[in-house]
């Protein structure tokens, strides 16, 4: 048997692939190679060298080329990825592919790392003086008027600058510059930390240089970010690197600004909205150790950290950390794996910690650090329930809620009406016969979007024109049922004709930077009414926002998903945290038909920690996560029969194992985008028993003939059942 290379190729199969070494060049573990695959070629990562071939050498092909002189992925990342693929029962090739920015998964030279900078040309200066350009182009000209700027700084100041740069470069108004001015020195001084903050910084500071997880549990506005900043400062001073994960791109720009203004170092940003070349450059700078501070969303957890000092996961409870396709890892849990391998502390921060993390604190695996006070004049908002039973509602809004909004704008302040549903109304119903508009591909109600005059399926994006009369009975009175943000915007604008009403959801912020621009306008001390979804739930400081009214909580109270109560509690507390961030006191209204619901009562009277403790007890009593462990097998196909056949075989293969099976059964949405869906939930009290049984099962699944007739995936610790 010849010695072979074992290569991870980006395909959804549970195996590595054996190849003969290349004719020229040395392939090392962690290097990328170009290999023949199927009818074409693929870029893979070498996982093992000198392995014994599993098949006879006559069938082995030779690697075409080694792409890297030195390994691109270091030993720690290789080891962590192997563990991650094992834990999340993922295809190893997909795990390795996830770790690399797209531009590095291709057979191309590595991008140039020399710092990119831009400057005005003489023509550019004239154009600026003549005021000839508008919008993004003008903003870029102005940014360069003070001298050459690095691309990194431009990213931070003008998130969409690249398009403008392309235009201006083509017009000869700007050019690549050789040097940039020095990085601006830190412009803001750290505030004197509170006792609690100092304690937190000290505890983590003492753990630098070894693995220790911390849960930084602090109400919104308690100064968690200041704690991260102080720790990152220490880490940089030791010449080490810090990785800070945030759940959403939307939170990145303001955090980058805050980091740079405080630390006076370049911050490398990694998220999916970046141009691929920029993303690859940031990744490579981290790999060389040049980048000291790396800020990014989910996939940034795979950034190489040769001089790792600290990993921070902000808003650790956020669902966005879970990847929902391909390699279904959880970035928070992966951050833990990496911190352990790198021997560094990891700080998970949240005002509403996940039940998983709270259970880890209870079990002694994480150390809890608490920030209970808010520094400065910030007072916690006052939360009240608005009983909407037997009230005359105006498009779903109660008189008490409308009165509170009216008082707020009359004082010159801002109010937020929060509703986590886009569109005008979730259902369009015929009063004559009961027909309702349904997506033919999902058998689910379609959402009415009045402004676009369309019915849109929020599950598959299928759209249709709004019928003028009922397609079933011909009656002309089709009635929207329920409220989305678009309808609330209309209702509030009609009720308060003198106040500006602003809607902030995916629809109104489709354009790049529209979100930032909408919020920019709000920072002024003007009265306004905001209507918004989840997008507004986090991050942004709106100092003049003093009232938050939450509508639609009842849906969260009635969900069958066992995580719904946890999510609702987190959402209510996070949204409430938007009120009264500055000196003005904040007020929060919860509009509900269930004013006596125990969860709402406890949340209001005792706060998130108490509500979470109750929820944890409930989970423990029925052995649900985090006390029990789950793996979900999903399958879908254009017909139902292959789905049932595959799942039945998969279930049969587990007979006799010490596991509980729920299903096979239809998925909560049995049909979606025209595909029939089914699932099999596998549960066990012991994590190791679950993995021991499912590892061979997972590998076996892809060899089942019935697997070829469906799309299927395995989800370890699923968050959406």
Report what 473 binds from ligand ADP, Zn ion, none; CB cut-off 5-8 Å by kind. Answer: Zn ion
420 closest CA partner among 553, 588, 514: 553
Residue number, 195 or 596, with CB nearest to ligand ADP: 195
- Contact flag: residue 197 with ligand ADP (CB under 6 A): yes
Stretch that binds Zn ion, among 187-195, 422-430, 516-524, 696-704 (CB under 5 A): 422-430
Q: Which of 224, 292, 419, 675 binds ligand ADP (CB under 6 A)?
A: 224
Tokens standing for 121? 């040309």
Does the annotation list 470 as a binding residue? yes
Residue number, 201 or 274, with CB nearest to ligand ADP: 201
Residue number, 234 or 272, with CB nearest to ligand ADP: 234
Residue number, 235 or 599, with CB nearest to ligand ADP: 235
Tokens standing for 24? 């020229």
Least separation in angstroms between CB 473 and Zn ion: 3
- Contact flag: residue 191 with ligand ADP (CB under 6 A): yes
| CB 635, CB 646: distance < 8 Å | yes
Establish how many alpha carbons lie within 13 A of residue 266's alpha carbon, considering only the half-sphere containing its beta carbon.
Answer: 21
| CB 188, CB 139: distance < 8 Å | no
Q: How far apart are CA 334 and CA 338, in angstroms?
A: 6
Region of 395 please: left (phi>0), alpha (psi -120 to 50) or beta.
left
| CB 591, CB 417: distance < 8 Å | no
Stretch that binds ligand ADP, among 177-185, 214-222, 588-596, 627-635 (CB under 6 A): 214-222
Does the annotation list 448 as a binding residue? no
SS (H, E, C) 364-411: CCCEEEEECCCCCCCCCCEEEEEECCCCCCECCECHHHHHHHHHHHHC
- Contact flag: residue 322 with ligand ADP (CB under 6 A): no
Q: Which positions ≥6 away from 382 have C-beta within 8 Å?
A: 585, 586, 587, 588
Q: Which residues pair with 196 in a beta bridge?
A: none
| CB 30, CB 75: distance < 8 Å | yes
Report what 459 binds from Zn ion, ligand ADP, none; CB cut-off 5-8 Å by kind. Answer: Zn ion
Would you call 28 helix, strand, or coil by DSSP? coil
Residue number, 197 or 534, with CB nearest to ligand ADP: 197
Residue number, 563 or 634, with CB nearest to Zn ion: 634
* Phi and psi torsions of 32, nearest 5°: -90, 145
Q: Where are the beta strands (DSSP E) in 562-640?
A: 587-592, 629-637
# of chain residues touching ligand ADP (CB under 6 A): 15
- Contact flag: residue 376 with ligand ADP (CB under 6 A): yes
Q: What binding mask, one character per residue, do residues 427-456 give for Zn ion by CB under 5 A, x or -?
A: ---x-xx-x---x-xx--------------
Maximum pairwise Cα distance, the chain: 83
CB atoms under 10 Å from CB of 545, counted, come to: 24
Q: Helix H segments across 457-563?
A: 485-495, 514-522, 553-558
| CB 680, CB 633: distance < 8 Å | yes
Report what 193 binds from ligand ADP, Zn ion, none; CB cut-off 5-8 Å by kind. Answer: ligand ADP
Q: Which positions ≥6 away from 432 have C-beta within 8 Å?
A: 470, 473, 474, 475, 477
Q: What binding mask, one character per residue, do residues 379-418 give for Zn ion by CB under 5 A, x or -?
A: ----------------------------------------
Q: How far is CA 28 from CA 19, 48, 50, 63, in A?
A: 13, 8, 10, 13
Does the annotation list 695 as a binding residue? no
Report what 220 binds from Zn ion, ligand ADP, none; CB cut-off 5-8 Å by kind. Answer: ligand ADP
- Contact flag: residue 218 with ligand ADP (CB under 6 A): yes
Does the annotation list 439 as a binding residue? yes
Q: Which helix (H) or strand (E) holds 251?
A: none
Q: How far apart are CA 193 and CA 594, in angstroms?
A: 41
Report what 3 binds from ligand ADP, Zn ion, none; CB cut-off 5-8 Å by kind. Answer: none
Least separation in angstroms between CB 375 and ligand ADP: 4
- Contact flag: residue 226 with ligand ADP (CB under 6 A): yes
| CB 537, CB 424: distance < 8 Å | no
Least separation in angstroms between CB 425 and Zn ion: 16
CB atoms under 10 Å from CB of 572, counted, come to: 26
Residue number, 416 or 635, with CB nearest to ligand ADP: 416
Q: Which residues pair with 671 in a beta bridge?
A: 676
Least separation in angstroms between CB 218 and ligand ADP: 5
Report what 462 binds from ligand ADP, Zn ion, none; CB cut-off 5-8 Å by kind. Answer: Zn ion
- Contact flag: residue 222 with ligand ADP (CB under 6 A): yes
Q: Which residues pair with 592 in a beta bridge?
A: 387
Q: Which of 110, 377, 403, 472 binds Zn ion (CB under 5 A)?
A: 472
Residue number, 64 or 582, with CB nearest to ligand ADP: 582
- Contact flag: residue 380 with ligand ADP (CB under 6 A): no
Q: Which positions ≥6 away from 114 have C-beta within 8 Å?
A: none
Q: Which of 194, 323, 414, 420 binds ligand ADP (CB under 6 A)?
A: 194
Does the annotation list 560 as a binding residue? no
Residue number, 122 or 192, with CB nearest to ligand ADP: 192
Least separation in angstroms between CB 688 and ligand ADP: 36
- Contact flag: residue 313 with ligand ADP (CB under 6 A): no
Stretch that binds ligand ADP, among 3-11, 215-223, 297-305, 448-456 (CB under 6 A): 215-223
Residue number, 259 or 611, with CB nearest to ligand ADP: 259
676 closest CA partner among 686, 687, 664, 662: 664
Region of 628 please: left (phi>0), alpha (psi -120 to 50) or beta.
beta
- Contact flag: residue 574 with ligand ADP (CB under 6 A): no
Tokens standing for 258? 């805050």
Does the annotation list 687 as a binding residue? no
* Binding-site annotation: residue ranges: 430, 433, 439, 442, 457, 460, 470, 473
Binding site for ligand ADP (CB under 6 A): 191-194, 197, 218, 220-226, 375-376
Binding site for Zn ion (CB under 5 A): 430, 432-433, 435, 439, 441-442, 457, 459-460, 462, 470, 472-473, 475
* Binding-site annotation: residue ranges for Zn(2+): 430, 433, 439, 442, 457, 460, 470, 473
């Amino acid at each position: 048997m010849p010695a072979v290379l074992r290569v991870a190729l980006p395909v959804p199969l549970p195996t590595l692939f054996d190849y003969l070494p290349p004719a020229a060049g040395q392939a090392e573990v962690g290097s990328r190679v170009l290999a023949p695959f199927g009818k074409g070629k693929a870029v893979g990562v070498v996982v093992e060298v000198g392995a014994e071939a599993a098949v006879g050498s006559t069938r082995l092909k030779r690697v075409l080329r080694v792409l890297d002189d030195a390994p691109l992925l270091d030993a720690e990342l290789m080891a962590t990825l192997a563990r991650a693929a094992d834990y999340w029962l993922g295809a190893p090739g997909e795990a390795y592919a996830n770790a690399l920015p797209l531009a590095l998964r291709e057979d191309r030279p590595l991008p140039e790392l020399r710092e990119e900078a831009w400057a005005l040309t003489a023509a550019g200066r004239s154009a600026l003086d003549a005021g000839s350009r508008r919008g993004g182009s003008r903003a870029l000209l102005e940014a360069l008027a003070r001298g050459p700027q690095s691309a990194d700084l431009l990213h931070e100041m003008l998130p969409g600058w690249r398009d403008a740069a392309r235009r201006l470069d083509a017009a000869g108004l700007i050019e690549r510059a050789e040097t940039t001015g020095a990085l601006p020195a830190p412009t803001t001084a750290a505030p004197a930390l509170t006792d609690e903050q100092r304690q937190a910084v000290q505890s983590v500071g003492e753990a630098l240089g070894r693995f220790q997880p911390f849960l930084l549990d602090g109400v919104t506005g308690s100064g968690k970010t200041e704690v991260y900043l102080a720790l990152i400062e220490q880490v940089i001073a030791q010449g080490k690197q810090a990785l800070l994960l945030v759940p959403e791109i939307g939170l990145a720009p303001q955090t980058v600004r805050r980091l740079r203004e405080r630390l006076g170092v370049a911050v490398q940003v990694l998220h999916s909205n970046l141009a691929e070349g920029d993303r690859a450059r940031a990744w490579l700078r981290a790999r060389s150790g040049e980048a000291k501070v790396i800020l990014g969303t989910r996939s940034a957890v795979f950034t190489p950290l040769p001089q790792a000092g600290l990993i921070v996961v902000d808003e650790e409870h956020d669902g966005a950390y879970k990847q929902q396709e391909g390699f279904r890892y959880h970035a928070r849990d992966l951050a833990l794996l990496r911190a352990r391998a790198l021997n560094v502390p990891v700080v998970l921060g949240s005002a509403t910690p996940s039940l998983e993390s709270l259970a880890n604190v209870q079990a002694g695996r994480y150390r809890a650090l608490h920030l209970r006070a808010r520094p400065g004049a910030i007072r916690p908002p006052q939360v009240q329930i608005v009983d909407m039973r037997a009230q005359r509602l105006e498009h779903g809004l109660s008189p008490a809620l409308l009165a509170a909004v009216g008082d707020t704008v009359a004082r010159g302040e801002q109010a937020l009406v929060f509703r986590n549903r886009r569109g005008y109304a979730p259902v369009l119903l015929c009063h004559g016969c009961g027909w309702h508009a349904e997506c033919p591909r999902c058998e689910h109600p379609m959402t009415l979007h009045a402004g676009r005059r369309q019915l849109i399926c929020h599950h598959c994006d299928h759209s249709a024109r709004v019928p003028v009369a009922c397609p079933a009975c011909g009656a002309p009175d089709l009635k929207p049922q329920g409220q989305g943000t678009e309808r609330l915007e209309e209702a509030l604008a009609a009720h308060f004709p003198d106040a500006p009403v602003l809607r902030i959801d995916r629809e109104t912020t489709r354009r790049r930077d529209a979100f930032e621009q909408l919020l920019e306008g709000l920072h002024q001390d003007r009265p306004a009414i905001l209507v918004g979804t989840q997008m507004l739930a986090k991050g942004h400081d709106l100092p003049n926002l003093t009232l938050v009214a939450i509508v639609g909580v009842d849906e969260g109270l009635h969900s069958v998903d066992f995580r719904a109560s946890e999510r609702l509690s987190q959402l209510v507390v996070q949204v409430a945290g938007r009120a009264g961030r500055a000196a003005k006191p904040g007020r929060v209204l919860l509009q509900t038909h269930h004013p006596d619901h125990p969860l709402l009562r406890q949340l209001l009277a005792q706060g998130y920690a108490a509500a979470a403790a109750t929820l944890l007890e409930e989970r423990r009593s029925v052995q649900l996560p985090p006390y029990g462990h789950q793996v979900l097998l999903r399958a879908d196909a254009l017909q139902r029969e292959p789905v049932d056949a595959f799942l039945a075989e998969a279930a049969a293969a587990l007979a006799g194992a010490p596991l509980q099976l729920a299903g096979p059964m239809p998925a909560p949405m049995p049909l979606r985008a025209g595909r029939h869906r089914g699932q099999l939930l596998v549960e066990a009290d012991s994590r190791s028993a679950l993995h021991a049984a499912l590892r061979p099962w997972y590998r076996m699944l892809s060899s089942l003939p019935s697997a070829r007739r469906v799309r299927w995936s395995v989800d370890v610790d699923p968050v959406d059942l």
